Chains A and B, each alone.
Chain A
Amino acid sequence: MAKKVAFLQGNEAAAHGALYAGCRFFAGYPITPSTEVAEVMSAELPKVGGKFIQMEDEIGAMAALIGASLTGVKVLTSTSGPGLSLKQENIGYACITEVPSVIVNVMRGGPSTGMPTGPSQSDVMCAKWGTHGDHPAICLVPASVQEIFEETVRAFNLAEKYRTPVMIMPDEIVAHMRERIVFPEPGELEVVDRTAPSVPPEKYKPYDTSFGDVPPLAAFGSGYKFHVTGLNKMQDGFPTTKAEIVQAEEERQVRKVEANKADIMKWEEYLCDDAEVIVVAYGSTSRSARFAVNEARKNGIKAGLFRLITFWPFPEERLLELSKKVKGFITPEMNLGMCTGVVKGCIEGNAPVLGIFRVDGEPINPGQILDKMKEVK
């Protein structure tokens, strides 16, 4: 049988990816340019017995999401800049309580209301540092409609596998463009469910590290009684201020992601093997970059594209390796240098990093990237 093919918008693909992954609960608050995700979920979830709720604000949406996830369902919310700021409170709560949840954040211009319909890539730092305190961060930055679908499925898998919130951050261009998408058959993509406890209720502890860094999570209403708090907690879930426990638990929470970077990180290297200049790009900007690299090659410039698919964790080690053999990096992005700073931070000064920054609501075009290549000597 031929596969189902459709002409879909990025946001629609995110919703369909979530449904494929088994998402059965959505809580959100409308905001441009992410609203289509909520609209599709409001139509599709009830058909499969799932629930959709439009909350009073994004704080409440993230809260409802965590409450629902604790009953054992896979959960999704979608938002954009101003809403992401509001969600940060409870994103931190999901980090410390280790409750799986997936957040689609479509990047528009900021800060504040900024440019509601203009594209941007200026929330990538907010994905890591937006909520206070030390915490793990996983952020995916897809570049096509097909990839939004697939990365949304992967976002659910990572959230469930590592008991943590996961963000998918398409920029507005990727989220709103329409492309052909081939729907994977059921079973074609891996779908991961959280590990349920193997011990009886009276022996259950929600943060029992004898099961490893990611302890099994029971569901409310499944016969297990346990406590969940945003305070620093012990293995049994109850608050503690004991120095050695707090230190160990905080470190474990971050280690869940850091020690599993190889499993989580994803990037694409295009013509990087012999490249003298490598463009590090993500989202819609990476599409301009690929075009520029192809043009450059025609003109005899050894250019390559390093396309980030996960922004966090960031592929520091690989970029450090590459930095030893290139003449320079180019980092085009729709912000004032967020990725650029991270690249500079991990390559130990081995090569110059030339940024191209746009925050005017216009995409970065291949010509700008080609021009920049000429500055790499």
Chain B
Amino acid sequence: MAFDYDKYIRPGKLPHIWCPGCGHGIVMKGLIRAMDSLNLKKEETAIVSGIGCASRLPGYLDCCTLHTAHGRAAAFATGVKMAKPEMNVILVGGDGDGTAIGGNHFIHACRRNINMTYIIMNNYIYGMTGGQFSPCTPTGAKASTTPYGNPDPGFDIAKLAIGAGASFVARGTAYHAAQIDKLIAEAIQHKGFSVVEILDDCPTTYGRRNKYRSVVEMMNRLKEVAVPVKAAEKMTAEQLEGKILTGVLHKVEKPEYCEEYAKVLQRAQAAK
């Protein structure tokens, strides 16, 4: 029997705003399958986003949904989670939202290791505003504000998250759709701040300018560059040149923020 996405889709809110060929919808389906596999209760789940095409995702889900300001999802979500730790809190957003304007909130959510899951849809570009370069746009690539090629070096989101203290970091791609739900489900189950980067595509503003003739070509690129971490262990440095690791990249046990704050309450009340 085909999977029933309607269970988590908000009645009457489709069609979505995304362009044909946009990878964000693939990620949303993966998230829904993950939520379903864990049987997350919709009224006990908050989906929080910033601003951008990716950040429109919460509106389509039948949960407690919070579409905030550009880059601020992690900070809003921290407030929700701190105030109500029993809620499942899932953040979604784009590469620009999370790593440029929201970079500070992102690294501090990682550092606190607060029990939330952050799904970053990395299409290498500011899609919503028409294709300006983001901190994840590859050097040399064309964007509407890099007509002569992008001079900026890009961020490695996974390394950034690990360096900042996230206790679970995974990466998948929109091409490997069947893996997305598994990565997200594992991230949600992990206690601590978990980051799932999904490489996807923006055919409308990135593909067009960077000589991808079709969405299929963009998807094929994802297929070609992705190497599962397990497979990479057996590969040489030359073989790994230009490749991107996928799967669970980092998973450690660390004190979780809300649990640590619960201890603060205990100490304060004992001292009273």
Contacts of A53 in B (CB 8 A): 78-79, 82, 261
| Contact A220 B64, CB 8 Å, known A46-B264, A89-B69, A229-B59 | yes
A38 smallest CB distance to B (angstroms): 15
Whether B84 contacts A220 by the Cβ 8 Å rule is yes
Whether, in the assembled complex, A201 has its beta carbon less than 8 Å from a beta carbon of chain B, the answer is yes
The interface residues of chain A, by DSSP majority, are classed as mixed
Q: Which of A59-67, A114-122, A246-254, A328-336 interfaces with chain B? A: A59-67
Chain B contacts with A in 11-60, Cβ cutoff 8 A: 13, 42-44, 46, 48, 51, 58-59
Closest residue on chain A to residue B49 by CB atoms: A229
Q: Does B171 make an interface contact (CB < 8 A)?
A: no
Q: A56-B108, A66-B79, A71-B84 are in contact. Are A227 and B58 (CB under 8 A)?
A: yes
Say if the beta carbon of B68 comes within 8 Å of chain A.
Answer: yes
Give B206 Cβ to nearest chain A Cβ, in Å: 24
Cα–Cα distance between A33 and B143 once the two chains are bound (Å): 44
Q: Chain A residues with Cβ under 8 A from B79's Cβ? A: 25, 27, 53, 63-70, 75
- Is B43's CB under 8 angstroms from A221's CB? yes
- Total contacts A to B, CB within 8 angstroms? 133
Would you list which residues of chain B between 63 and 88 have a CB under 8 Å from chain A? 63-69, 72, 74-84, 86-87
**B72 touching A60, Cβ below 8 Å:** yes
In Å, the complex CA distance between A24 and B77 comes to 17
**Chain B positions 129 through 146: 1 when the CB is less than 8 Å from some CB of chain A, otherwise 0:** 000000000000000000
Q: Chain B residues near A60: list those with CB within 8 A.
A: 72, 74-75, 78, 104-105, 108
Q: Which residues of A contact B80 (CB under 8 A)?
A: 67-68, 70-71, 220
Cβ of B237: which chain A residues have Cβ within 8 Å of it? Answer: none
Asked if A25 and B43 make an inter-chain contact with CB atoms under 8 angstroms apart, the answer reads no
- Asked if A227 contacts B44 (CB within 8 A), the reply is no
Is there a chain B Cβ closer than 8 Å to A228's Cβ?
yes
In the assembled complex, B234 has its CB within 8 A of some CB on chain A: no
Chain B neighbourhood of A49, CB < 8 A: 265
Complex-state Cα separation, A67 to B80, whole angstroms:
5
Q: Which of A49, A90, A227 has the most CB of B within 10 A?
A: A227
Category for how many chain B residues contact A: 35 or more
B269 cross-chain contacts in A, Cβ below 8 A: 46-47
Residues of A with C-beta under 8 A to B211: none
Best-surrounded residue of A59, A225, A228, A238 (most CB of chain B within 10 A)? A225
Q: Are A68 and B83 in contact (CB under 8 A)?
A: yes
| Residue A300 is within 8 A (CB to CB) of chain B in the complex | no
Q: Collect the chain A residues with CB atoms within 8 Å of residue B268's CB.
A: 43, 46-47
**Residues of A contacting B74 in the complex (Cβ-Cβ under 8 angstroms):** 60
Pair A64/B75 contact, Cβ less than 8 Å: yes
Asked whether A90 and B84 contact (CB < 8 A) given A63-B105, A223-B43, A225-B62, the answer is no
A189 in the interface (beta carbon within 8 A)? no
Q: Which residues of B contact A228 (CB under 8 A)?
A: 65-67
Give a binary string over B75-107; 1 marks a CB under 8 Å from any A CB, 0 the rest: 111111111101100000000000000001100
| Distance between Cα atoms of A306 and B97 in the complex (Å) | 48
How far apart sit A104 and B80, CA to CA, in the bound complex (Å)?
Answer: 21
Interface string of A32-49 (1 = CB under 8 A from B): 000000000001001101
- Could you say which residues of chain A place their CB within 8 Å of the CB of B78? 53, 55, 60, 63-64, 67
- List 17 A–B pairs whose Cβ atoms lie within 8 Å, in order of A's numbering: A56-B108, A57-B104, A59-B105, A60-B75, A63-B68, A63-B75, A63-B78, A64-B82, A66-B76, A67-B66, A67-B80, A93-B68, A220-B87, A221-B44, A223-B43, A225-B43, A238-B59
Taking A71-B80, A71-B87, A224-B64 as known contacts, 18 extra A-B pairs with beta carbons closer than 8 A to each other, sorted by chain A number, are: A25-B82, A55-B75, A56-B104, A60-B72, A60-B104, A63-B75, A63-B105, A64-B78, A66-B79, A67-B48, A70-B66, A89-B72, A93-B68, A223-B43, A225-B42, A227-B59, A228-B66, A229-B67
Task: Report A's interface with B, CB cutoff 8 A.
Answer: 24-25, 27, 43, 46-47, 49, 51, 53, 55-57, 59-61, 63-71, 73, 75, 89-90, 93, 201, 220-221, 223-231, 238-239
